[in-house]
Amino acid sequence: MRYFIRRIFFYVIALWTAVTLNFIIPRLAPGDPVQTLVGRSQGRIDPRAIAALELQFGINTKIPEWQQYFSYLGDLLHGKLGLSFEYYPTPVSTVIVSHVFWTMGLIGVASIMSFILGTLLGVVSAWRQGSIFDRIVPPALTFLSSIPYFYLALFFLYFLGFKFGWFPIIGAYSFTADTSQFSLSLLFDVLNHAILPALTIVLVSLAGWMVGMRNAMLNTLSEDYVLMAEAKGLSNWRVMTMYAARNAILPNITGFALSLGFVVGGSIIMESVFSYPGIGFLLFQAVQNSDYPLIQGIFLVIALSVLAANFLADIMYLILDPRVRY
Amino acid sequence: MELLNTHGGKPAASPKQTSNNMRSMIKNLAAKLAMPQLPKSAMFWTGIGMLLFFILVAAFGPLFIHGDPNAFSNDSLAPPSVKHLLGTTLTGQDVFSQLVIGAKLTLLSGFAAGVIATTLSVIMGLVSGYLGGWADDVLSLITNIFLVIPGAPLAIVLSSYVPNTSVWPIVFIVGLTNWAWGARVLRSQTLTMRDRDFIQASKLGGENNFRIIFFDIMPNLIAIVASSFIFTTIYAILTEISLSFLGLGNILAVSWGNMLYWAQNSGTLLSAWWWFLPPGLCVALLGSSLAFINFGLDTIVNPKLMMVPSKNRGKKAAE
């Protein structure tokens, strides 16, 4: 319980840091973001939008910084993230909500698949240390994960999507699909569009899980209790899964939670390549259009979801590792 | 005071035995860790060879390239030929020259970001692990916060505010957002070193904290520091390339990431393979050379990873 309270305390501080960073960055940035925006829009911007932006970023205002900070915190508590410039006058929160679902679904499923597959491969690789499998698969996967992600993704897009035409190459569903109501054909359409992005994510992230699990498992394999289990004549399968792998998986689980941040970051590139209408693509477009309120809002949402995922992993750790529950 | 015995006081018979054992153990350990004992695996040396090749190209390649790699010419999208070894871009720039010149910026920015991140992680990790107490609490808290705040989105947000006049803002951003994992690993390793006898001895010898941390503890963790440096460098190179590819860097500089950016934005990705293929392949080879080196370093940090499969298990698995 003490552990639990300490973790909650930690996440409150982490959340506060993310929120504060979000407040400070636009104010510390060189130049005037609002003027940049006005310049880029070539006068096509609503004066009210300029006023709102200046208020949000603390430009041309006599309100002291600390007062701005507290009104910013107050707005956040009410879910007010400002108005998007690109989609003016839609609130940032509305824009984000309509995109976040796609990223969560795709990235979530792909990372869980990659984690499970990579961990299993790691278990096999460690169990057969020095075998041909162990000599070839880890370096090969490492090479795959050293390729810049977008590069690999573009290859898949070109060959599997464009040349062979096996998979759709753009979006999360067909333009012709009827999205007004749920139907089985819509589900298949969405799944069909998700295969290629998911496949590329799994391929580049597999190596990390595999090598991590392999190394952790080599440590547990040399423990006496594994030798003891073998001496007792337990089946190979039982020794491998219940004795060696079970004790080796904990670091990988912590790694999984921490990796979510990287994965969400990676989704920006994935979604830009596949034009997938998720939050990463939204961030990319927001950056291109200098839609600062939207950029700020998306960063906050990403930070929040990564913190939440980490918190879940902590709870899982609590269940899996009795040593934490002192 | 058992630790005085290691300095050869006048101990009783049995403690002397243990202290001698302890001393030889530490000696062995120090010899194992601090000496430049290089891994023998073929993978490690392949990685070193590949990395050396890229460093040589980056350092001396520009001497063989005459003229401006960004200079336009009338040969638009010419396929590879004797005149243009790797063909030309849409505006007739020589791809081979760009590739060679671009190596320098790509390597330099990757390693620079790696150095920034590693320096931060060494300072934060070792200091918090060694000092303990409230200093450890504060530094660990900062480390853990940086660990959970997603680095890549933060880097993108920061780079959208910073003017893209050079690559260095990106290098700093990547360096500043990627040190936390290394710091955490080093902190936990420092915790296991803190109470070793040779550290206690230095303490009693009146060494100050700075010397103990950086001259007594750090040499023993050098393999881990090197490994985390390489890991961060790989990540930095990939992040830098990706940010450039998205057009968030200085798009006028000659680097592999920018070559990919222009190749993709020209809409000739599929027809002009000689433009798009080489830079990506070079990044992949550079990244894997570093990853292979890391494999080798891992076997020093953790000898259990060396290729000595247990005989029994091999037999049982073969059955």
Q: How far is A89 from chain B, CA to nearest CA, in Å?
A: 22
Per the domain annotation, does B305 fall within a domain?
yes
The CB density around residue A306, as the number of other CB atoms within 10 Å, is 25
State the span(s) of chain A assigned CATH 1.10.3720.10. 92-325
- Under CATH, domain A92-325 is a member of which superfamily? MetI-like (1.10.3720.10)
Q: Which of the 8 DSSP states describes residue B79? A: P
Interface of B with A in 38-57 (CB under 8 A): 43
Among the partner-chain residues B141, B280, B308, the one whose CB lies closest to the CB of A151 is B280
Which of A147, A243, A312 to probe the B interface (max B CBs under 10 A)? A147
* Cα A36 from Cα A40, distance rounded (Å): 6
First to last CA, chain B: 55
Tell me what the mean pLDDT of segment B272-299 comes to.
83
Contact between A215 and B298 using a beta-carbon 8 Å cutoff: yes
Q: If DSSP codes are grouped into helix, strand and coil, which group holds residue B189?
A: helix
Q: If DSSP codes are grouped into helix, strand and coil, which group holds residue B252?
A: coil
> How far, in Å, are A20, A49, B65, B175, B212 from residue B206 at the CA level?
42, 64, 57, 35, 10
* Cα A314 from Cα B299, distance rounded (Å): 30
B69 contacts B93 by C-beta, under 8 angstroms: yes
Q: How far is A299 from chain B, CA to nearest CA, in Å?
A: 6
pLDDT tens-digit readout, A144-167? 777 778 888 888 887 877 777 777
Which of B145, B230, B240 to probe the A interface (max A CBs under 10 A)? B145
On whether any CB of chain A is under 8 Å from the CB of B188, the answer is no
On whether any CB of chain A is under 8 Å from the CB of B314, the answer is yes
Beta bridge partners of B88: B94
pLDDT tens-digit readout, A181-238? 677 777 777 787 888 888 888 888 888 888 888 888 888 888 888 889 989 988 888 8
Contact between A296 and B280 using a beta-carbon 8 Å cutoff: no
* Cα A290 from Cα A284, distance rounded (Å): 10
Phi-psi map region of A93: left, alpha, beta (phi>0 left; psi -120 to 50 alpha): alpha
User: Which ranges of chain A have pLDDT less than 70?
Assistant: 29-33, 36-37, 39-45, 58-62, 88, 175-181, 258, 261-266, 324-326
Contact between B298 and A154 using a beta-carbon 8 Å cutoff: no
Per the domain annotation, does B154 fall within a domain?
yes
On whether any CB of chain A is under 8 Å from the CB of B119, the answer is no
Structure confidence at residue B118 (pLDDT): 92
- Measured between beta carbons, the chain B residues lying within 8 angstroms of A261 are 148-152
For chain A, give the mean pLDDT.
80
- Which pair of structure tokens corresponds to residue A263? 């994965």
Rounded to two decimals, the ipTM of the complex is: 0.75
Into how many domains does chain B fold? 1
* Cα B234 from Cα B101, distance rounded (Å): 20
On whether any CB of chain A is under 8 Å from the CB of B295, the answer is yes
A18 contacts A300 by C-beta, under 8 angstroms: yes
* Cα A146 from Cα B288, distance rounded (Å): 5
CATH number at residue B213: 1.10.3720.10
Residue B9 has pLDDT above 60, yes or no: no
Contact between B295 and A139 using a beta-carbon 8 Å cutoff: yes
Among the partner-chain residues A147, A268, A310, the one whose CB lies closest to the CB of B148 is A310
pTM of the model: 0.76
Tell me what the mean pLDDT of segment B183-187 comes to.
87
Among the partner-chain residues B147, B264, B308, the one whose CB lies closest to the CB of A258 is B147
Tell me what the mean pLDDT of segment B104-121 comes to.
90
Per the domain annotation, does B16 fall within a domain?
no
Q: Which residues form the domain of B171?
A: 104-253+285-318
Q: Which of the 8 DSSP states describes residue A233? A: T
Q: Which of the 8 DSSP states describes residue B221? A: G
Q: How far is B24 from chain A, CA to nearest CA, in Å?
A: 24
pLDDT tens-digit readout, B113-142? 999 999 999 999 999 988 888 888 889 888
